Structure formats: structure tokens, C-alpha cells
Amino acid sequence: MSTDNTTILQGKKILLGVSGSIAAYKAATLTRLLVKAGAEVKVVMTPAAADFITPLTLATLSKNEVPLHISDHNSWNNHVMLGRWADVMLIAPASANTIAKMAQGLCDNLLLATYLSATCPVFFAPAMDEDMWHHPATRHNVEKLLSYGHRQLPVVSGELASGLFGEGRMAEPEQIIAYLQQHFLQTNPDTTKPLAGKLAIVTAGPTIEHIDPVRYISNHSSGKMGIAIAETLADAGAQVKLVLGPTHLGTTHPGVETIPVQSAADMLQQVVAAFPQATVVVAAAAVADYRPSQAADKKIKKGEAQLSIALEKTTDILRTLGDTKGPQQLLVGFSLETNNEKEYALKKLREKHLDLIVMNSLADAGAGFNYDTNKVTLFDRNGQERSFPLKSKQAVAQDIVSAIIELQHA
């Protein structure tokens, strides 16, 4: 039987940590939604969080006492018990200060003491201004938490407390609920879905190769096709890692973990690291074939009438995977051409040991970069050819994933 999403959180023990951020007001809605979904909720707060929302409010909504100070009655030992009690610890909002302390293992308040005692999966929902979110120190701290195996909920773009617009808003409570549901679904997967229990890697978007600190080589890929495929694979039950090059687009699908990269080398590193555990890889990214052999460390100033830049080949990600893939792994590539489309697509299919290649042409109206539509032809390893009319990229993603499922069961 298929799992009813309304019952996934029934009886689950959620430990909610609230840190000092204006987004702390969302903790009230989040607590209410968790309780409504049948979860048992306990809340710990930092003293700074109490400046934004009172412990009484969250105690009333959670139906559990909310300790605030580590010296409070029973709190000295209680943080250890709380850390062992929970099925999931969710820190929302997670301020820049709290993220930094978590990364360093500091323990100067009850929330952090409880975090260090947690034996369960930890999720954190960052909330801060855009400049703080993009600061190298914050990026380093987030990467450190991810290396601990923690899960970051995506930040949202919009109006910030500073009055500016940009990235840094905490995910909305409804999105957080969806991510928790997906976590528990993956822990107890819906085995009726065709890709349940499978890890899929999808690459999407462009890569950029730096010429100097302000210039780079790239292409027009938006990442739309790859993102649609990642979401469709997740809908089919797969756990999806989306390795996404620089683009303004993204996904909030709870079954998709986004790994942002910039260069072809970055993308190769992330894909190769995850590949041994993967069942399916869909390489939809437009990866640079060449990069400057040496990037300047300072801006190149205008001088002579002509400027020559020496280029070197990047490592071919698809060929690297194709040369090492196992018999149970499926490798899907894309072939975007301007001429001799079928000839080049079939050559790529053979030479890179692919199981499926998706061919499209820049000569077809409504296909290619930045469109919401695409027109593709699929060639599989058995020589079967299937052509489709112009469709939305979401519909094309359904066709591609259906072909993947067929090959999985062939």
C-alpha cells in the first residue's frame, strides 16, 4: 500500500531547537503543524530566541515545558535525555551564530548542549541576511555541518529583516514539514514506487571556468531540464542528489538534495564521490569541455588589441563514469547538437558506455537552453529509438524517467 502523507509524522518525536533570529516567530506555526500531524514535539531555545518568541507560547503549542537555561531545574541532565529521546532534531531557525557554534562544537547554552548530546539525525534551517549567508565563514561552517551528516534545509529568497531582498530567509514551515515527511519516507520507503531505495545522481545547469577573478567561460544552460528530471526521479521513489551548476533556479522538492558546484572539476569531484552508491546517474549538465590552463589571480587589464587564452581539456565526467560503472548501474547522457545529431548521439552512447542517451537539437524550435519546452529522441543501449514531440520539460522528464524504469527492469 502507498503511504498516506498525513500519517507519516504520527508518533514521531521531534526535538525543535529555536535560536535567536527574527524567523523564530515561524517556530509557532511549525510547532502547531507538527502537533497537528501527530508528532510529539519538545522545544529547546537559546536565551536570544526568547527575545523574539516566548517559551510560554511554544510550551502551550507543543504541550511540553520549554527549558531555556542550562541551569534551570532538571535542565543540567535533561539535555542528555532530550538528545537521546528524539527521532529527529530540527534547528529552525538556525542563525549564523548558532551554525558557527555547532560547527565548532561550542556549548554555551542549552540548545547547543542538547545538540551535542543528540544521537538522532539533525536538520537545520538557516535564517540570516544574504551577506551573512554568502560570507565565506558561514559557507565553511555549513559545509562542516554537512560533513557531519547533518541535513540543511534550503534557504529561500525574498524580503529579509534588513529590508533587502535576497537569499537567507528560513524555509516556510510547510516546506519543513514536507522535508521531514520525506526523511521518514526514506527511512521507511514506500516500496510500491518503482525507484524506492535507489540513489540517483543528476547533474544540471552550466559550469563556469574562471579566466580571472571577474571573468569566466560558461554557457547558456539554465538547469531547467535537469531539475525537472531530479524532481521526477524523486517522485518515483529515488533518493536524489542534484549536483547543480551556477543558476538562479533550484528545487524545494523534499526528495532532492541539492549540491551546488561551479566548475567542471567541482562537479566531477561531487559525482565521483557519490557514484559508488548510485543506481542511476543522469548527466544533464552542460559541462565545459575546456578551461583556461591557468587562471589569472588578478583582473586582466585592457592592453593589446588581441588577447590569447590558452585552454586545456576538462576531465570528461561521463567517460569517467562509463569506464567504471558496474552492471547494476544505469548511466544516462545528453547530446545537444546543431548538426549530424543522430550520428553524434550514437557515437557518444557507444564510446562512453551509456545505457540511454537523450538527443535534442538547437535547430528545433522551442528546444535547447532556457526554454520551458524540449523535443527529444531517446536511444537506449539495445538500439531502440523513440522520438517525442515538443513537450514541457516536466513532461519530457516523465518520458526519460519512464525509460530509466524500463531499463531498470529489463
Domain boundary among 187, 216, 231: 187
**Are 209 and 335 contained in the same domain?**
yes
**Are 175 and 206 contained in the same domain?**
no
**Are 92 and 48 contained in the same domain?**
yes
Could you list the residues known to form a binding site, using ranges.
289, 299, 334, 348, 352
Q: Which residues contact 394 (CB under 8 A, 6 or more apart)?
A: 228, 232
**Are 238 and 386 contained in the same domain?**
yes
The answer as to whether 303 is a domain residue is no
- Look-up: residue for cell 561551479? 262
Q: What are the tens digits of pLDDT across the range 285-319? A: 999 999 999 888 888 888 777 888 899 999 999 99
| Dist. CA 401–CA 175, nearest whole Å | 25
The answer as to whether 173 is a domain residue is yes
Could you list the residues known to form a binding site for CTP, using ranges.
289, 299, 334, 348, 352
Q: What are the tens digits of pLDDT across the range 38-51? A: 999 999 999 999 99
Q: Which three cell numbers stand for residue 205?
A: 545547469
pLDDT score, position 402: 93
Q: Maximum Cα–Cα distance for the chain, whole Å?
A: 76
Among candidate residues 253, 209, 208, 207, the one with its CA nearest the CA of residue 227: 253
Q: What is the pTM of this model?
A: 0.64
Mean pLDDT by 10 residues, the chain (410 residues): 61 96 96 96 96 96 89 64 91 97 94 93 95 93 90 86 86 90 73 86 95 89 93 92 91 85 94 95 94 89 82 94 94 87 90 94 68 88 88 91 88
Provide the CATH number for the domain around residue 65: 3.40.50.1950
Which one is catalytic: 74, 219, 360, 374?
219
pLDDT score, position 85: 92
Answer whether 138's CB lies under 8 Å from 101's CB: no
Domain range for 107 is 5-187
Among candidate residues 366, 299, 388, 377, the one with its CA nearest the CA of residue 344: 377
The answer as to whether 219 is a domain residue is yes
**Are 181 and 205 contained in the same domain?**
no
Q: Which residues contact 228 (CB under 8 A, 6 or more apart)?
A: 393, 394, 396, 397
Provide the CATH number for the domain around residue 229: 3.40.50.10300
Domain boundary among 156, 187, 218: 187
The answer as to whether 373 is a domain residue is yes
pLDDT score, position 67: 86
Measure the N-to-C terminal CA separation of the chain; round to a whole number of Å: 24
The answer as to whether 399 is a domain residue is yes
**Are 229 and 358 contained in the same domain?**
yes
**Are 353 and 376 contained in the same domain?**
yes
360 belongs to the catalytic site: no
pLDDT score, position 5: 55
Q: What are the tens digits of pLDDT across the range 69-110? A: 876 656 555 778 888 899 999 999 999 999 999 999 999 999
> Residue 377: what are its φ and ψ, rounded to 5°?
-125, 135
Domain boundary among 187, 207, 238: 187
Any long-range contacts for 63-68 (C-beta under 8 Å, 24+ apart)? 63/35, 64/40, 67/110, 68/110
Any long-range contacts for 379-383 (C-beta under 8 Å, 24+ apart)? 379/345, 379/346, 379/349, 380/355, 380/356, 380/407, 381/349, 381/354, 381/355, 381/356, 381/407, 382/410
pLDDT score, position 337: 76
Rounded to a whole number of angstroms, the CA Rg of the chain reads 24
Burial class (CB in 10 A: 0-12, 13-18, 19+), 339: exposed
**Are 272 and 393 contained in the same domain?**
yes
The answer as to whether 194 is a domain residue is no
Amino acid code (one letter) for 75: S
Whether the bond into 93 is cis, omega within 30 of 0 = yes
CA 369 vs CA 313, 386, 401: distances in Å: 23, 22, 20
pLDDT score, position 286: 93
- Look-up: residue for cell 540511454? 356
Strands 13-18 and 40-45: parallel
pLDDT score, position 3: 42
SS3 of 283-335: ECCECCCEEECCCCCCCCCCCCCCCCCCEEECCCHHHHHHHHCCCCCEEEEEE
| Dist. CA 69–CA 108, nearest whole Å | 10
Strands 373-374 and 391-392: antiparallel
- In this structure, what DSSP letter does residue 206 have? B
**Are 216 and 264 contained in the same domain?**
yes
**Are 152 and 51 contained in the same domain?**
yes
Among candidate residues 146, 152, 188, the one with its CA nearest the CA of residue 11: 188
Q: Which residues contact 202 (CB under 8 A, 6 or more apart)?
A: 226, 229, 230, 233, 240, 241, 242, 243, 281, 282, 284
**Are 266 and 146 contained in the same domain?**
no
**Are 346 and 210 contained in the same domain?**
yes
How many domains, in total, are found in the chain?
2
The answer as to whether 360 is a domain residue is yes
The answer as to whether 302 is a domain residue is no
